[in-house]
Amino acid sequence: GQVFKLEDYKPSEFLIPETKLTFNLHPTKTLVQAELTIRTRSGQPPNAALVLDGDELVLRSLAINGKVLDAASYTATPDRLTINELPQADTFTLSIETEVAPEHNKALSGLYRSSGNYTTQCEAEGFRRITYFLDRPDVLSVYTVRLEADSKEAPLLLSNGNLVERGPVESGALDSGRHFAVWHDPFPKPSYLFALVGGDLGSIKDSFTTASGREVELGIYVEHGKEERAAYAMAALKRSMRWDEEVFGREYDLDVFNIVAVSDFNMGAMENKGLNIFNDKYVLADEATASDADYAGIEAVIAHEYFHNWTGNRITCRDWFQLCLKEGLTVFRDHEFSADQRSRAVKRIAEVRGLRAQQFPEDQGPLAHPVRPRRYREINNFYTSTVYEKGSEVVRMIRTILGAEDFRRGMDLYFERHDGDAATIEDFLRVFEEVSGRDLSQFALWYHQAGTPSVQVAMRHDADKREVTLHLEQALAPTPSESRKRLMHIPLQFGLVGQDGRDIAVKAAGEGVEGDVIHLRKRHQTIRFTDVPERPVLSINRGFSAPIMLAMEQTAEDRMFLARHDSDLFARWQALTTLYTQALTQAYRTIRGGSTPEFAPALLALVGDTARNEALEPAYRALALSLPGEGDIAREIGQTIDPDAILAARNALVLAIAAANADDFAKIYEAMAASGPFSPDAADAGRRSLRNVLLDYLSAPAGDVKRAASRYESATNMTDRAAALAVLAHRQSGSPETVAALADFESRFRPEPLVIDKWFQIQATVPGTATVNTVRELMRHSGFSIDNPNRVRSLVGTFAAANQTAFHAADGSGYKLFADAVLEVERRNPQVAARIATAFRSWRSLEPGRQDKARQALVAISQHRDLSSDLRDIVERTLA
Ligand code: HT7
Ligand code: ZN
């Protein structure tokens, strides 16, 4: 396939200032009439052909300035429309009629049907599946959209912007049974932000008064009967709107803001101007069907899409290489929003756990790419954790380097200067350089170089000289097609913790330190602090100020000290996590050597003390008690990985912690019981999460099934019910209580696909090879559909991404099952197939037997006939 390169960017010679679209919606024969005002950029008559993008299009008619074109003056293929003979004028009107079949569109890109409703997904390149267009983000157009549909089939007709007209479609004197609506969006936008919805949906309505006193009508549209489940999303939307005014000074700009929930969607949601379209998983919630994690996800995604109105829509991307300009920045904004709504420390720890579990393996494997890539074959494969989450970390580092005030001044300048633009990362960095007077050229490497930097730190204290010396060293390993790396600017927040647990006020001699931030810019850097009478304990990369791997010479005693006393709660959690990781890798080696692991009593006691520490909020204690995942342990070990030994090591530590703290855990478990009616707020969710983590420990010993079984039976909300079911399935697999609870869950929630997804997930993550067969059987379950991305991700995606011992079954059966499933998904939906196939990315770190079987499965996929460019791109890069 074609490789697109950043350096090849050229502005378009043609512009489309105005776009008028008429849709005659029909399941298999939707007619799309596009009337495009085309203007040359130069203001002179065109001197080259006009080439428009298409994808699987059928052209019905073509005219310029009202005159039908003769066949010799253009060529039309499903993928491209080339018009060679153009008027000798700088502006003309091009009329195109295409025909599409939404019902048959299983790729869920372009115009498609979900549960009988018409809907669209145009990012990144879906608009070209609707009509021929300059389908690139730097071509901005003002859209007027007329929708016509059967009044019964689609009483609801929505598009971007404001509603300007609606009524019945007359055919002669008769009512045709069809109706229409006209929508106008006054803000010029790229085609990827176009959307329409036609269908029969229920809704909830509300309104929001902006800071300057304008009224905005808010609507959330969901399947009939599910309206009440949209209340939390609506409240989250209003909080997001207020927050963006207060924290970033951004007001909403249209009279209407609509959200539509659909059940077939390739990603989480889409920020179409004034008409966000959501995967219903990120809209619908009530206590019986949604877990606390679901509520948090809804809050975050609602906020994320709303925040795109400024970071993405008002200021969009010049080209798809700049994707992180809108995505990294908007993730940063939604992270900050959630941190303000909930507990900042808890939120930060959850973010870092996610980053390490998803982005670090991406950055350290065959799919590594810079936050701003320079090449792509298939842009859909670059909606990655690197672009989104590492992109957000880079914005966070800018704030750390500049400080909150200059950061806000930079953002203000960005909005002021670039409103209405299709901008670049260079534009973004320039505003921060200007407001702060700082040189960010070395820092910009975070956008340009792939890979996770590692930093080694050692601290010495010289009691005689009353001096502390820090030695820091940075390194960045080669990544695909980047063999030589340059030195990065790494901002490290730090503190020197005194024996009383408080930070010592420090005086640094020499450069490289500003306040509580060390600016590591060289390969080796030495920093001296004077006037330090006692030996402090170093706490560094506080708040995870830089997305790096830290290797620090530090004793277990010092880490335990930090785990008890560090004033930075992130660093406190990190100290404990490092202790767990060291204990687990040691246990892994012991198990591989044929012996039984043992764990330091001081660590087991520290865990108990942390669980009991009421000065810490329950949500934090729950995170502190959560051991690194099997994937985290695998990454730490690095090579020749044996997933079975990892699971055994982790289970051994769970059992040791449980045995050492059984009585206390049981008491805290009781103390965390709910005392009032259900609330999804962070405090109550935190109590539930601590209780459920403790349930997992208490149910770990063989046969200890009663507590979890009774928890399952007495649960009054989905968080507790699903957590109890997971504990039963993962800790007491095959017990009669587990079998009964799984059957009960299925019969209770059969009509609720989003809940059945949890049932799929729980079973897909039961450790051990037997799960390969379970997944094969569940793929035949009546609640499973290979066409629905949520079902595929919950069962097949979760199996490969989150079940190390089954996916990597030594006999290769997990790979075979998965490869077959990927190919089956790919026939309908290449984007989803390509995304789940990234689960193979760490195959080279396995022990040789598994490596060989994983390679065979990848090769089998790559040799399949007619492979989509999406899946081919992932598989070939993974094998390279
Ligand atoms: N900006 C949106 C990306 C998206 C998307 C991309 C490719 C294919 C389908 C898609 N659906 C949504 C979502 C976001 O980041 O806000
Ligand atoms: Zn986004």
Q: Give the contacts of 254 (CB within 8 A, at least 6 positions apart).
A: 161, 162, 185, 187, 216, 273, 274
Residue of 119, 120, 298, 383 with the most ligand 1 atoms within 8 Å of its CB, for mutation: 383
Q: What is the pLDDT of residues 524-581, one digit of tens each?
A: 999 999 999 999 999 999 999 999 999 999 999 999 999 999 999 999 999 999 999 9
* Ligand 1 pocket by Cβ (under 6 Å): 121, 123-124, 266-267, 269-271, 304-305, 308, 327, 380, 383, 831
Surrounding ion ligand 2 within 5 Å at CB are 327, 330
Tokens standing for residue 632 = 């985290």
Residue of the CA atom closest to atom 2 of ligand 1: 270
| pLDDT band at residue 186 using 50, 70 and 90 as cut-offs | very high
Q: Which residues have a catalytic role annotated?
A: 305
Residue having the nearest C-alpha atom to atom 13 of ligand 1? 270
Tell me whether residue 796 is exposed, middle or buried, using C-beta atoms within 10 angstroms of its C-beta: 0 to 12, 13 to 18, 19 or more.
buried
Q: Which two tokens stand for residue 248?
A: 């970033």
749-785 pLDDT per residue, tens: 999 999 999 999 999 999 999 999 999 999 999 999 9
- Residue pLDDT, tens place only, 96-135: 999 999 999 999 999 999 999 999 999 999 999 999 999 9
Q: Distance (Å, rounded) from C-alpha 232 to C-alpha 224?
A: 17
> Does the pLDDT at position 172 exceed 90?
no
- Kindly report, residue by residue over 357-410, the tens digit of the pLDDT: 999 999 999 999 999 999 999 999 999 999 999 999 999 999 999 999 999 999
C-alpha 382 to ligand 1 mean position (Å): 10
Q: Any idea which ligand is nearest the CA of 302? A: 1
Q: Residue 522's pLDDT band (boundaries 50, 70, 90)?
A: very high
What residue type is 745 in one-letter code?
Answer: F
**What integer is the mean pLDDT of 594-620?**
98
pLDDT, mean of residues 12-28: 98
Position 1 confidence tier, pLDDT thresholds 50, 70, 90? confident
454-484 pLDDT, tens digit each: 999 999 999 999 999 999 999 999 999 999 9
Q: 3-state SS of the chain: helix, strand, coil percent to 5? A: 45, 25, 30
Kindly state the percentage of the chain with pLDDT values over 90.
99
Ligand lying nearest the CA atom of residue 193:
1
Ligand located closest to 382 CA = 1
User: Model's pTM, two decimal places?
Assistant: 0.99
Q: Is the pLDDT of residue 509 over 90?
A: no
Three-class DSSP labels, 267-308: CCEECCCCEEEEEHHHCCCCCCCCCHHHHHHHHHHHHHHHHC
What number of helices (H) and strands (E) belong to the chain?
Answer: 29, 33
Alpha-carbon distance of 779 to 782, in angstroms, equals: 8
Confidence of residue 511 (pLDDT cuts 50, 70, 90): confident
What does the pLDDT read at residue 780? 98
- Determine the Cα–Cα distance for residues 833 and 864; give it in Å rounded to an integer: 14
The strand pairing partners of 133, in sequence order, are 53
The Cα angle at residue 482 between residues 478 and 487, in degrees rounded to 5: 70
Order of all β-strands in the sheet with 269-270: 202-209, 215-222, 256-262, 275-279, 269-270
Alpha helices in 437-546 (DSSP H): 445-448
Instruction: For ligand 1, atom 12, name the residue with the nearest CA.
Output: 270
Q: Give the closest residue to 492 by CA, choosing from 512, 510, 518, 513.
A: 518
Backbone region of residue 680 per phi and psi (left: phi > 0; alpha: psi in -120 to 50; beta: other values):
alpha
Q: Which of 125, 270, 306, 315 to mutate to test the pocket of ligand 1 (most atoms within 8 A of CB)?
A: 270
Residue given tokens 């690095």 in the structure block: 638
Whole-number Å distance, alpha carbon 123 to ligand 1 midpoint, is: 6
Q: What residue type is assigned to position 539 of the chain?
A: S
Phi-psi category of residue 518: left, alpha or beta, with phi > 0 → left and psi -120 to 50 → alpha: beta
Kindly report the average pLDDT of the chain as a whole number: 98
CA gap 880, 875 in Å, rounded: 9
pLDDT at 857 over 80: yes
Q: How far, in Å, from the CA of 639 to the mean position of ligand 2? A: 34
Q: In this structure, which ligand is nearest to the CA of 379?
A: 1
Pocket test for ligand 1, best of 191, 267, 335 (most atoms within 8 A of CB): 267
Angle at 478 between CA 475 and CA 483, to 5 degrees: 120
By DSSP bridging, strand 549-552 and strand 454-462 are parallel
- What residues have CB less than 8 Å from 555, skipping those under 6 apart? none
Buried b (16+ CB within 10 A) or exposed e, 169-205: eeeeeeeeebbbbbbbbebbbbbbbbbbbbbebeebe
Q: Could you check whether the bond before residue 124 is cis, i.e. omega within 30 degrees of 0?
A: yes
Nearest-atom index, ligand 1, CA of 108: 9
At 597, which amino acid appears?
A: P
Q: Ligand 1: which of 55, 123, 380 to mutate, judged by most atoms within 8 Å of the beta carbon?
A: 123
Give residue-wise pLDDT tens across range 580-589: 999 999 999 9
Within a 10 A sphere around the Cβ of 245, how many other Cβ atoms? Answer: 15
- The Å distance, Cα 278 to ligand 1 centre, comes to 10
The one-letter amino acid at 683: A
pLDDT at 173 over 80: no
Q: List CB contacts of 421: < 8 A, sequence separation 6 or more.
A: 315, 316, 427
For residue 221, is pLDDT > 80? yes
Name the residue at shortest CA distance from atom 11 of ligand 1.
267
pLDDT at residue 444, as a whole number: 99
Distance from the alpha carbon of residue 835 to the mean position of ligand 1, in angstroms: 13
> CA dist 281 to 262, 379, 586, Å?
9, 24, 40
Residue 202: pLDDT band with limits 50, 70, 90: very high
The model's confidence at residue 510, banded by pLDDT at 50, 70 and 90, is confident
In this predicted structure, what is the pLDDT of residue 813?
98
Q: Which domains, from first to last, does the chain contain?
A: 1-102+126-156+167-177 (2.60.40.1730), 316-448 (1.10.390.10), 458-549 (2.60.40.1840), 555-698 (1.25.50.10), 751-880 (1.25.50.10)
Taking the centre of ligand 2 as the mean of its atom positions, its distance from the CA of residue 308, in whole angstroms, is 7
- Ligand 1 center to residue 268 CA distance, Å? 7
Residue 347 has pLDDT above 90, yes or no: yes
How much is the pLDDT for 175?
81
**How does DSSP classify residue 115?**
T
